[in-house]
Amino acid sequence: MKNVFITGISGCVGSYLADLILGNPEYKLFLLVSNPHKLSFDPAKYPNVAIVHDEMMNIKKYSDLLKGMDHVIHIAAGWGTSEINFEYTIDLFNALDPARIKKVIYFSTASILGPDNKVNDKVGEIGTSYIKGKYDCHKKLPELPVYDKIVTLFPTWVLGGDASHRYSHAMGGLLGAKKWLWLLRFLSIDFEFHFIHAKDIAFVVKYILENELKKRELVLGNGPVTADQLIQAICDHYKVKRYFKIRISPKLVKRLAGNRISEWDKYCLDQRHFVYKVSNPRTFGITAEFPTITNVLGGLN
């Protein structure tokens, strides 16, 4: 039996991953959970599951436990702070036994990358605390004793969630867009990005856990989507017609926002085309369940 330590299992991606691996008798799963009530499953039903009820900030307390791990899947992230994304993540990785650990699957973010899939140093200066933490952590990874065991995933815009799975932050935004369709349907902005559903991310994580990869870094996403395509797809889903479109320039957005706009927001408006070389379930011969925005929206009310 292989020992697997997982963080973030109660989040959006984690809840889908749980569906795929909880019943696997090959794994003894140690799940770091700050609030067991947020789990999408009953851990008592799984004899191979051990709940570590604590916060990432206390990860050093579990050094002895971590030394006995064969695999780590680190999904947890802090949205309003950098400590979880940097300091506590490094503490976790440093607690592992380099001679025993076989694979560390680590979630970063595509927000720290440029269009060539290389880290963009500018984001280390102007990014949010979340992004700066991920940036600082990525820079530190080569210094770690377990660096050669780490597979870094850079998710793009993560969608997902339903009655039995936690909603992602981005999915919450899509759900809230319905009440603004009366206005959004008339707007057009030059913006391009990738997305990937949390369930499809879970498929990729399971594959990486069970197979060896030549690549050590993967940007997770489907083909690029424009803001116009997204708005059109939402309108189609809710059967709202678009009679005409008013093009909104980034300069206008910055002017209207005034001092309320951050340096990171300005960067995003200037960049506009967040397009990368991406991987998804189909990269590994797995059928993707949500390859298009239309597929994702099909599960919304």
Quote the tokens at residue 45: 């039903």
Question: What is the tens place of the pLDDT at every residue in 70-129?
Answer: 999 999 998 777 788 999 999 999 999 999 999 999 999 999 999 899 999 999 899 999
Least confident span in 2-6, 64-68, 178-182: 178-182
pLDDT at 301 over 70: no
Average pLDDT over residues 148-162: 97
Tell which wins on pLDDT, 259 or 200.
200
- Within 13 Å, how many C-alpha atoms sit on residue 183's CB side? 5
- How high is the mean pLDDT of the chain? 93
Beta strands (DSSP E) in the chain are 2-7, 27-33, 49-53, 71-74, 103-107, 150-155, 157-159, 187-188, 192-193, 195-197, 217-220, 225-226, 246-247
Q: What percent of the chain has pLDDT over 70?
A: 99
Within a 10 A sphere around the Cβ of 166, how many other Cβ atoms?
19
pLDDT in tens, 242-257: 988 999 888 888 887 7
Average pLDDT over residues 33-55: 95
151 close to 204: Cβ distance less than 8 angstroms = no
Residue predicted with more confidence, 272 or 192 = 192
Among 82-86, 153-157, 206-210, name the one with the lowest average pLDDT: 82-86
